Amino acid sequence: MRPFPRLLVAGFGVSSLLMSAVAAEARVERFPAGFHIERIKTGDATLYVRVGGKGPAVMLLHGFGDTGDMWAPAAKVLVKDHTVIVPDLRGMGLSSQPKGGYDKKTQGQDIAQVMNALKVERADLVTHDIGNMVGYALAAQYPARITKWVIIDAPLPGIGPWDEILKSPLLWHFNFRGPDVDRLVKGRERIYLDRFYNELSANPKAIDTATRNHYARLYARHGNMHYAFEQFATFNTKDRADNIEFQKTKLPMPVLALGADHSFGDTQAAVMREVATNVEGGIVKNSGHWIMEEQPAQTVGLIKAFLEKK
């Protein structure tokens, strides 16, 4: 494993939602024609889910600083021969905001229930940032339901070099909690998100103003930033403990572990070899953490090639 890269890890980190409202302004791409929205109950949450295409299913999970909207360039390619499923995680984007359940084990169950509702028994999985953590909880609880997994640029709580990773000063936001955090950020969502886009990218200019405004509007939606903070609050409590338990049984499915060369790098593959038996490493070149904003074509190409590999 090479030394930790310059950025280490992301900030952990509407769809066709504001399709017409922001299309003229935003560089954030629309989902292809033919996608529709499902609002799927998963116990105490209702997830906003984009669905399109036919064929083998692929589930795309986002992280902090983005929503499912980040995956539109991948959906445009994958929808040609896949059923593409893109939820917003609970408390984020246009999904509902239950008071609890932000541990990743519960959210893995959310995604399994989305698959049930859509009558999808098995799916490929593509994840980024906090989506990695939800994806691990999904794959660990339901390994027979995940055929392949592409995991991109973020660690797993409690796994491998987690304690060393936490020492990075870039990760102060992991512990940005308490009674005043909502007041500190309210009305300043764009400023707060700019910190992540600027410090955790290889080229901040790759994340244009329209993209930043698009996500700032979504995170300014009442309650969304509060529940984004709740995603972080479980990292070193329930998520860590659950992952240590999950790790006792290694994942069987093929895994492509992609790190950005200006971010998590080949540490991504090292982390995944702690939890899975069949891991291939890869690098997204000339990119920081925001792979779909900084290097969308390259990232989609790597995803597609791995999913097509026999």
Tokens coding 278: 């069949």
Per-residue exposure over 131-167, b if at least 16 CB sit within 10 Å of its own CB, e if not: bbbbbbbbbbbbeebbebbbbbbbbbbbbbbbeebbe
Classified as helix, coil or strand, 37 is: strand
Radius of gyration of the chain from its Cα atoms, rounded to whole angstroms: 17
- Whole-number Å distance between alpha carbons of 291 and 219: 20
Tokens coding 115: 């698959």
- Whole-number Å distance between alpha carbons of 177 and 310: 45
Q: Tens-digit pLDDT profile for the chain (310 aa)?
A: 333 333 333 333 333 333 333 333 447 899 999 999 999 999 999 999 999 999 999 999 999 999 999 999 999 999 999 999 999 999 999 999 999 999 999 999 999 999 999 999 999 999 999 999 999 999 999 999 999 999 999 999 999 999 998 888 888 888 888 889 999 999 999 999 999 999 999 999 999 999 999 999 999 999 999 999 999 999 999 999 999 999 999 999 999 999 999 999 999 999 999 999 999 999 999 999 999 999 999 999 999 999 999 8
Q: What is the DSSP letter of 241?
A: H
Query: Which of 246, 229, 58, 233 has the alpha carbon at shortest distance from 140?
Result: 246
- Whole-number Å distance between alpha carbons of 124 and 252: 13
CB 52 within 8 A of CB 72: no
Give, to the nearest 10 degrees, the angle between helix 209-219 and helix 189-199.
130
Tokens coding 30: 């629309």
Q: How many CB atoms sit inside 10 A of residue 309's CB?
A: 10
Kindly state the helix (H) or strand (E) to which residue 57 belongs, with its residue range.
strand 57-61
Q: Is 97 exposed, middle or buried (0-12, 13-18, 19+ CB in 10 A)?
A: middle
- Whole-number Å distance between alpha carbons of 262 and 203: 10
Q: For the chain, which domains are there?
A: 19-308 (3.40.50.1820)
- Whole-number Å distance between alpha carbons of 221 and 241: 31
pLDDT at 21: 37
What is the pTM (predicted TM-score) of this model? 0.92
- Whole-number Å distance between alpha carbons of 9 and 168: 9
Classified as helix, coil or strand, 117 is: helix
pLDDT at 174: 83
